[in-house]
Amino acid sequence: MDIPVKEGQLCTVEVTGLSHQGEGVGRREGFAVFVPAAIPGDVVEVEVISTKKTYARGLIRQLLQASDHRVQPLCSVADRCGGCQLQHMKYEAQLAWKQTLVADAFTRIGSLQAQVLPVLGMIDPWEYRNKGQFPVGRDEGGMCLGLFAPRSHHVVTFPYCHVQPEAINRALKIVEELGRKHNIAAYDEMRHQGTLRHIVIRAAEAENTLMVVLVSRESNWQHPAFFADIQRCVPQLKVLAVNYNPKRTNAVFGDRTVAVTENEKITETIGQCRFGISPRSFFQTNSLQTRVLYDEVRRHIPQTGSPYIWDLHCGTGTIGIYAAQGSGRVVGVEVIPEAVADARFNAATNGVQARFVQGRAEHEARALAEAEGIPDVVILDPPRKGCDPELLEVLIDLAVPRIVYVSCNPSTVARDAAVLTDHGYRLGPVQPVDMFPHTAHIECVVLLER
Ligand SMILES: C[S@@+](CC[C@H](N)C(=O)[O-])C[C@H]1O[C@@H](n2cnc3c(N)ncnc32)[C@H](O)[C@@H]1O
């Protein structure tokens, strides 16, 4: 196909869809044009900034006609910051689009006709994030904290981030001010120099506490005066820790973390369960919606007898522990050692009978079955890339009767569900849960039964 647009060209595009990244999609003579910050129903004049064989990208130069779903974003840097992709879209329209996105992934990638239920959204979709990872940049005043601009490592600062709670916003500004006062050098990615790479702040709403983690490029970096000021000035601070990440990498955390405070964990409550969280451990970033998500998982766990459950990407053990409350026995598998330690602590705190193994689910599952038998239910909750094919193979060989697959990526869960349905599993309803309002992300709970 000839490419009907050129770089630098101005053209009019009627936006009819959204990509998985939340960019508007329209067509010029049948050729796809991706337009960041546009939504279906918009008619925009764009400047084409790049062309590839099958698509082009263009930036809005003029909004010629606004979609009925368009709203004014709350955030003053919504058009420049890479944190939220959809603040300019009404929340109900975001939910409807996310339902379509999930259905589309199952049809297109999995070739499956899934029953995708309406998305379970939030009543108040603001200030919901319990964790912020803020890269450190530089401006005329010294180090500054913000979020990366889309597709770049340029740090965009903001007066207030409306998807973070007030406590995190306040702590962010205090740490920034103290960093400037102590002349802390921002990490320079190009030269691999400077000290501070990221500040990670977590909030435990139920306990009303905060954790601040300073991520340093320099191994063994210490700055007692800066640390003491943070402890003195940040209200609700329970944990201050330094993580050392000396590598040239995009990963936020390095392998070693040292707590400055005596406390090393904050504690969050989901329903009746209390969970300790360490600096590097995964914990769902929306505590209110975590309860909704975990209730969806729990609905698929037999609540009579004593179900034997595997929680195979267990993080701090939260889903398995929540699902097994009152009865049930859990075996969890997780790669990160600190998360395994948290999972053991969490099972004991919540009085749940559980055992946790540190390792890769795909390497541990067969030996677990030989040692302890086939589970009644397997919970899968892999990272965005989905399950390792070896893990699916083992579950198929073991003929595990029921799998509850929790996923933050519709494309990979659709791909993995197709493998399972090709090997004797029936796909149940797919329940999307909106854990990330105003972003293009969506979480799903998928039931697969033999
Ligand atoms: C999406 S998180 C889910 C954590 C937990 N289920 C929760 O709800 O908080 C995925 C977890 O899987 C872990 N992980 C990644 N690859 C893994 C593997 N191959 N085997 C076991 N765990 C893995 C990650 O460290 C992370 O804690």
pLDDT tens-digit map of 327-341: 889 999 999 888 899
Distance 361 CA to ligand 1 centre (A): 9
- Which residue among 131, 334, 391 is best mutated to probe the pocket of ligand 1, counting the most ligand atoms within 8 A of its Cβ? 334
Tokens 């070896």 locate to 390
Distance 277 CA to ligand 1 centre (A): 14
- Which residue among 255, 282, 295 is best mutated to probe the pocket of ligand 1, counting the most ligand atoms within 8 A of its Cβ? 282
**Annotated catalytic residue, options 161, 273, 408, 444:** 408
Spell out the domains of the chain, with CATH numbers in brackets: 10-65 (2.40.50.140), 99-123+286-449 (3.40.50.150), 131-268 (2.40.50.1070)
- The token pair that represents 251 in the structure block: 């990963």
- pLDDT over 90 at 3, yes or no: no
**pLDDT tens-digit readout, 419-441:** 999 999 999 999 999 999 999 99
Check pocket membership of 202 for ligand 1, CB cut-off 6 A: no
Q: Write down the pTM of the prediction.
A: 0.93
How much is the average pLDDT of 310-324?
Answer: 95
**CA 323 – CA 297 distance, rounded (Å):** 7
Amino acid at 41: G
| Mean per-residue pLDDT over the chain, rounded | 95
- Which residue among 280, 291, 335 is best mutated to probe the pocket of ligand 1, counting the most ligand atoms within 8 A of its Cβ? 335
Check pocket membership of 34 for ligand 1, CB cut-off 6 A: no
Check pocket membership of 283 for ligand 1, CB cut-off 6 A: yes
By percentage, how much of the chain surpasses pLDDT 90? Answer: 92
pLDDT value at residue 256: 95
pLDDT value at residue 2: 78
pLDDT value at residue 304: 77
**CA 264 – CA 279 distance, rounded (Å):** 8
Whether 412 contacts 441, CB under 8 Å: no
pLDDT value at residue 128: 98
**CA 399 – CA 450 distance, rounded (Å):** 7
Check pocket membership of 446 for ligand 1, CB cut-off 6 A: no
**pLDDT tens-digit readout, 162-185:** 999 999 999 999 999 999 999 999
Check pocket membership of 314 for ligand 1, CB cut-off 6 A: yes
Distance 285 CA to ligand 1 centre (A): 14
pLDDT value at residue 1: 64
Beta-bridge mates of residue 143: 138
**pLDDT tens-digit readout, 340-377:** 999 999 999 999 999 999 999 999 999 999 999 999 99
Report the nearest atom of ligand 1 relative to the CA of 314: 6
Q: In this structure, which residue's CA is closest to atom 19 in ligand 1? A: 360
Reduce the secondary structure of the chain to three states and give it as a string: CCCCCCCCCEEEEEEEEECCCCCEEEEECCEEEEECCCCCCCEEEEEEEEECCCEEEEEEEEEEECCCCECCCCCCCCCCCCCCCCCCECHHHHHHHHHHHHHHHHHHCCCCCCCECCCECCCCCCCCECEEEEEEEEECCEEEECEECCCCCCEECCCCCCCCCHHHHHHHHHHHHHHHHCCCCECECCCCECCEEEEEEEEECCCCEEEEEEEECCCCCCCHHHHHHHHHHCCCEEEEEEEECCCCCCCCCCCEEEECCCCCCEEEEECCEEEEECCCCCCCCEHHHHHHHHHHHHCCCCCCCCCEEEECCCCCCHHHHHHCCCCCEEEEEECCHHHHHHHHHHHHHCCCEEEEEECCHHHHHHHHHHHHCCCCEEEECCCCCCCCHHHHHHHHHHCCCEEEEEECCHHHHHHHHHHHHHCCCEEEEEEEECCCCCCCCCEEEEEEEC
Catalytic-residue membership of 408: yes
- The token pair that represents 198 in the structure block: 């990221």
* Best CA proximity match to 169, nearest among 235, 72, 231: 235
Distance 129 CA to ligand 1 centre (A): 19
Whether 46 contacts 11, CB under 8 Å: yes
Amino acid at 306: S
* Residues ≥6 apart with Cβ < 8 Å to 242: 213, 214, 215, 216, 221, 222, 227, 257, 258, 260
**CA 283 – CA 204 distance, rounded (Å):** 11
Check pocket membership of 412 for ligand 1, CB cut-off 6 A: no
- pLDDT over 90 at 394, yes or no: yes
- pLDDT over 70 at 65, yes or no: yes
Distance 242 CA to ligand 1 centre (A): 23
Distance 409 CA to ligand 1 centre (A): 13
